[in-house]
Structure formats: structure tokens, C-alpha cells
């Protein structure tokens, strides 16, 4: 039986990569992700959440739009660096509001489509933040987003929400998934800037360079070299992009954000990393546009979200296929699924990678046998206690392990 620490190592791989999740072949081979439970609402789309008209710029507030990827959207239970920047604005007397089409963090979906991993479930934007915080959560950031995609929508976003300041944190996914070259990514960011200006000629912009991740299994060995090449190109080209009515500044994440200490998975910011990203943007805003410098000390540690064990689980068999579903754990980045052939008295074995949904479908090696399942939620290196155990021979779960 595999060590739980081996499972933890695998957890980090999935959270940083869009990886194909596969269950242990000794018990059940992966077929496809389960369909969503009937009646489960689909994540709210971009247009449905765009409730601001963007034309009320007479309120005297500095309108700030964050355009970014998962680093900026955040996962369910995160504070997010947007919150830390908001704290900085408030403490420095900056009368600001965030604007954009979305409001929430990313939540793992109830199920992935049959075509996964070629097709992912829609990205959710309705996740909660860390309990007890309150700030204007409007944003223009989406899990997995690329500069290639954002440049297609930025003109409409700026035209609608009329930000005074645009903060851009994009490019990691373009390079990590080989969607663009460093030079091509610089060109895309310039196109994004040009289109934003076409919608609001006086917009002030801060562009962040790209963070250096911890290289995990499956990641390109030259990724950090390509990121360095991009960051150098951006720093060289960006000074020529500014205009008198629309200046541009650089937020240097690549040199200040430390994957070893500032992330929970080698890429996404932990509580300390959220402070560090906020400071990079705040300092760029201070130097370029005269806003207050970031005075908040960056803490050594910040308590992380620790998802609890799923409280319920079912295993429904239909012919040679079993659909395993479990209750959602707040803040989960995936679930390790443990399975065994109870008829043969086998040991439980974990899935090779955490599963990116609250359910999964498996093919049964022998439909006449009884199989048992339980799951543990993961968030970065943290592995929750076990859920109850579900059996293909029962309709009610066994007690929690």
C-alpha cells in the first residue's frame, strides 16, 4: 500500500498542472468523470455575473480592474492578493473600488465532462473567500486564463467597467502549456495594452512579469528558462509602451515571488505569497503613479485552508461501471480516491493523482465483486482525514475511517 506521503507528492503535481487523473489499475481502471448530479446548477457564466454598468465613474472612487489567471482569481477559501491590496489601499487612504465581470473564487466542479481532460468543466466564479473578510471582490481573473484569451476580451471589459487602473497578471499558462513563445507572449501583452487603451485612452496600467514555479513531474524542464527569457524581454520592451495619458509600469513578480515559500503547490500563492504579490503591484503603483508604498510587513506564516473530510459518499453500480460521489469539502483542490476489491480482501490503494471533481466514474474489473471506496480532500500538501466508506454492495455508507 502506498504511503500517504507519496500521495501528498502527487497532490502537488495535479494542483500545478492540468493533469489526467487515473485511478490505480490494480482495482479499477479510469473511464471518464461522472456526470453532474441532476439538479446541480452549472457555474454562473461571465455575462450573467456582469452586473455593473461601468458608466458610474462619477462616484469619486479610483476604479481598479485586476485581469489575471488563477493566481489572481484564487481558490475557494483563499484571502487572495486582491484582498491584501485592498487592505493596503484602505490603510493608505486610497478611495478605491475593484471592478470587473466576476466576483468569486474558483471551486472544484461537481463533475468533469465525459471528454475530460480534453474538455474541462466550466470555470466557476462563485466560490467563497476566507471566512470573516469583506472587500469589493469584483475582478477580471479566471483560473487557467491566458494572455492569448484575455487580449480578445479586454477592449469590451475596459469599455464596460471603465477602470482608471488596469493590473495585469497573465502569461504563466501561455508559457507553461507551450501556447506561445516568450516573444509571442510579449506581443500578445502589447496587443492587450493597445486594445485596453482603445477603450479608455487615459487608462494607467501595471503589467506583472511571470513567476518562476517549482518544477514538478510532467512540467517542461526548460520552463523557468523560457520564463526568464520572457521577463527579460518584457522589461526591455515595456518602457517604450507608455504614453503621456496612459503610462505603463512593471510589477516584478519573477524576482520577488518565491515558489518554495510563497506557494502551496509550487505555483499558486499561499497566505504569505498573497502578501508578496500585493506588495509587488502596490510598489509599482507607488513608484509610477504616486500611490502609497506598501508598508505592511510580510508575515512569516499565514494559516492555510485545510479542507475537512467529505461527510458522505456513495458508490452506484450500473453494469460494469460505478459512479462514486462524495460531499464537497470547502477549499479542496482535489481528492485522492482509495479503492479496493473487498471480495478478494485486497488493501485500499489510492488514485495515482487527485481527482479534480466531487465525483468520478470507474470501470469494475469484475462486476460480480464488491468494491469499496473512500476519499480524502487535498489542498497543496495537506491531506484531510478520510471520508466514510462506500460499497457497491450497499446503498448507505460505512462509518468514517
pLDDT digits (tens, 9 = 90+) for 222-243: 999 999 999 999 999 999 999 9
C-alpha–C-alpha distance, residues 207 and 195, integer Å: 14
Neighbours of 158 (CB within 10 A): 24
- Rounded to an integer, the average pLDDT of 107-120 is 93
Of residues 397 and 45, more confidence is placed in 397
- Phi/psi of residue 154, nearest 5 degrees: -65, -35
Q: State the pLDDT at residue 219.
A: 86
pTM of the full predicted structure? Answer: 0.86
Q: State the pLDDT at residue 32.
A: 39
pLDDT at 31 over 70: no
Q: Kindly report, residue by residue over 264-274, the tens digit of the pLDDT.
A: 999 999 999 99
- Rounded to an integer, the average pLDDT of 162-182 is 97
pLDDT at 15 over 80: no
Give, in order, the Cα–Cα distances in Å from 380 to each of 11, 268, 307, 371.
6, 9, 11, 28
Distant-in-sequence contacts of 175-179, Cβ < 8 A, 24+ apart: 175/210, 175/223, 175/226, 175/227, 175/230, 176/17, 176/213, 176/219, 176/220, 176/223, 177/18, 178/220, 179/146, 179/148
Q: Kindly report, residue by residue over 325-362, the tens digit of the pLDDT.
A: 999 999 999 999 999 999 999 999 999 999 999 999 99
pLDDT grade for 173, boundaries at 50, 70 and 90:
very high
C-alpha–C-alpha distance, residues 51 and 49, integer Å: 6
Neighbours of 300 (CB within 10 A): 7
Distant-in-sequence contacts of 177-181, Cβ < 8 A, 24+ apart: 177/18, 178/220, 179/146, 179/148, 180/146, 180/147, 180/148, 181/226
362: exposed, middle or buried (Cβ count in 10 Å: 0-12, 13-18, 19+): buried
Coil, helix or strand at residue 132: coil
pLDDT grade for 275, boundaries at 50, 70 and 90:
very high
pLDDT at 187 over 50: yes
Q: Are 354 and 14 in contact (CB under 8 A)?
A: yes
Neighbours of 315 (CB within 10 A): 24
Q: State the pLDDT at residue 366.
A: 95
* Average predicted confidence (pLDDT) for the chain: 87
C-alpha–C-alpha distance, residues 201 and 195, integer Å: 10
Q: State the pLDDT at residue 23.
A: 36
Cα atoms found within 13 Å of the Cα of residue 14, Cβ hemisphere only: 27
- Rounded to an integer, the average pLDDT of 181-189 is 98
Q: Are 170 and 150 in contact (CB under 8 A)?
A: yes
Give, in order, the Cα–Cα distances in Å from 111 to each of 35, 326, 328, 396.
6, 11, 11, 21
pLDDT grade for 256, boundaries at 50, 70 and 90:
very high
pLDDT grade for 397, boundaries at 50, 70 and 90:
low
pLDDT at 150 over 90: yes
pLDDT grade for 401, boundaries at 50, 70 and 90:
low
Cα atoms found within 13 Å of the Cα of residue 258, Cβ hemisphere only: 6
pLDDT at 1 over 70: no
- Phi/psi of residue 186, nearest 5 degrees: -60, -45
pLDDT at 33 over 90: no
pLDDT at 277 over 90: yes
pLDDT grade for 396, boundaries at 50, 70 and 90:
low
pLDDT grade for 60, boundaries at 50, 70 and 90:
confident
Give, in order, the Cα–Cα distances in Å from 167 to each of 6, 65, 208, 254, 277.
38, 6, 8, 16, 11
pLDDT at 10 over 90: no
Percent of the chain with pLDDT over 90: 81
Coil, helix or strand at residue 135: coil
Give, in order, the Cα–Cα distances in Å from 189 to each of 15, 165, 168, 193, 289.
26, 16, 9, 6, 20
pLDDT grade for 7, boundaries at 50, 70 and 90:
very low
Which domains are present in the chain? 4-31+306-400 (2.60.40.10), 46-289 (3.40.50.1110)
Percent of the chain with pLDDT over 70: 84
| DSSP code at position 219 | S
Extract the runs of DSSP E, i.e. beta strands, from 144-267: 165-169, 204-208, 248-251
pLDDT at 301 over 50: yes
pLDDT grade for 393, boundaries at 50, 70 and 90:
confident
| DSSP code at position 390 | E
pLDDT grade for 59, boundaries at 50, 70 and 90:
confident
332: exposed, middle or buried (Cβ count in 10 Å: 0-12, 13-18, 19+): buried
Q: What is the DSSP string of 173-201?
A: HHHHTTSS-HHHHHHHHHHHHHHHHHH-T
pLDDT at 34 over 80: no
Q: Which residues, at least 6 apart from 160, have a Cβ–Cβ distance to it below 8 Å?
A: 50, 52, 53, 54, 101
pLDDT at 36 over 70: no
Q: Which of 30-34, 139-143, 190-194 has the lowest mean pLDDT?
A: 30-34
* Torsion, CA 157, CA 48, CA 128, CA 115, rounded to 10: -100
Amino acid at each position: 500500500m502506498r504511503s500517504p506521503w507519496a500521495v501528498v507528492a502527487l497532490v502537488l503535481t495535479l494542483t500545478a498542472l492540468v493533469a489526467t487523473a487515473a485511478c490505480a489499475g490494480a482495482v479499477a481502471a479510469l473511464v471518464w468523470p461522472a456526470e453532474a448530479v441532476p439538479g446541480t446548477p452549472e457555474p454562473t457564466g461571465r455575462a450573467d455575473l456582469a452586473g455593473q454598468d461601468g458608466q458610474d465613474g462619477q462616484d469619486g472612487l479610483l476604479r481598479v480592474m485586476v485581469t489575471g489567471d488563477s493566481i489572481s482569481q484564487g481558490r475557494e477559501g483563499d484571502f487572495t492578493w486582491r484582498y491584501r491590496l485592498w487592505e493596503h489601499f484602505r490603510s493608505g487612504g486610497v478611495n478605491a473600488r475593484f471592478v470587473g465581470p466576476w466576483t468569486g473564487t474558483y471551486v472544484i466542479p461537481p463533475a468533469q465532462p465525459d471528454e475530460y481532460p480534453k474538455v474541462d468543466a466550466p470555470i466557476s466564479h462563485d466560490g467563497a473567500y476566507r471566512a470573516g473578510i469583506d472587500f469589493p471582490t469584483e475582478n477580471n481573473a479566471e483560473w487557467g486564463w491566458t494572455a492569448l484569451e484575455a487580449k480578445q476580451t479586454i477592449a469590451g471589459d475596459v469599455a464596460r467597467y471603465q477602470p482608471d487602473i488596469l493590473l495585469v497578471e497573465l502569461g504563466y499558462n501561455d508559457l507553461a502549456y507551450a501556447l506561445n513563445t516568450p516573444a509571442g507572449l510579449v506581443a500578445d501583452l502589447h496587443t492587450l495594452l493597445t486594445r485596453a487603451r482603445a477603450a479608455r485612452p487615459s487608462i494607467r496600467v501595471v503589467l506583472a512579469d511571470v513567476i518562476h514555479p517549482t518544477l514538478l513531474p510532467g512540467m517542461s524542464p526548460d520552463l523557468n528558462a523560457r520564463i526568464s527569457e520572457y521577463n527579460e524581454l518584457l522589461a526591455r520592451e515595456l518602457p517604450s509602451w507608455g504614453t503621456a495619458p496612459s503610462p505603463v509600469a512593471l510589477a516584478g513578480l519573477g524576482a520577488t515571488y518565491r515558489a518554495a515559500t510563497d506557494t502551496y503547490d509550487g505555483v499558486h500563492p499561499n497566505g504569505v505569497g498573497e502578501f508578496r504579490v500585493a506588495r509587488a503591484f502596490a510598489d509599482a503603483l507607488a513608484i509610477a503613479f504616486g500611490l502609497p508604498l506598501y508598508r505592511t510587513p510580510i508575515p512569516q506564516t499565514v494559516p492555510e485552508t485545510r479542507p475537512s473530510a467529505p461527510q458522505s459518499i456513495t458508490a452506484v453500480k450500473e453494469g460494469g461501471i460505478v459512479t462514486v460521489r462524495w460531499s464537497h469539502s470547502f477549499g479542496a483542490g482535489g481528492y485522492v480516491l482509495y479503492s479496493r476489491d473487498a471480495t478478494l480482501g485486497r488493501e485500499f490503494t489510492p488514485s495515482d493523482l487527485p481527482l479534480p471533481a466531487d465525483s468520478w466514474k470507474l470501470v469494475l474489473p469484475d462486476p460480480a465483486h464488491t468494491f469499496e471506496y473512500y476519499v480524502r480532500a487535498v489542498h497543496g500538501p495537506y491531506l484531510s482525514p478520510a471520508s466514510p466508506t462506500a460499497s457497491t454492495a450497499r446503498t448507505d455508507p460505512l462509518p468514517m475511517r
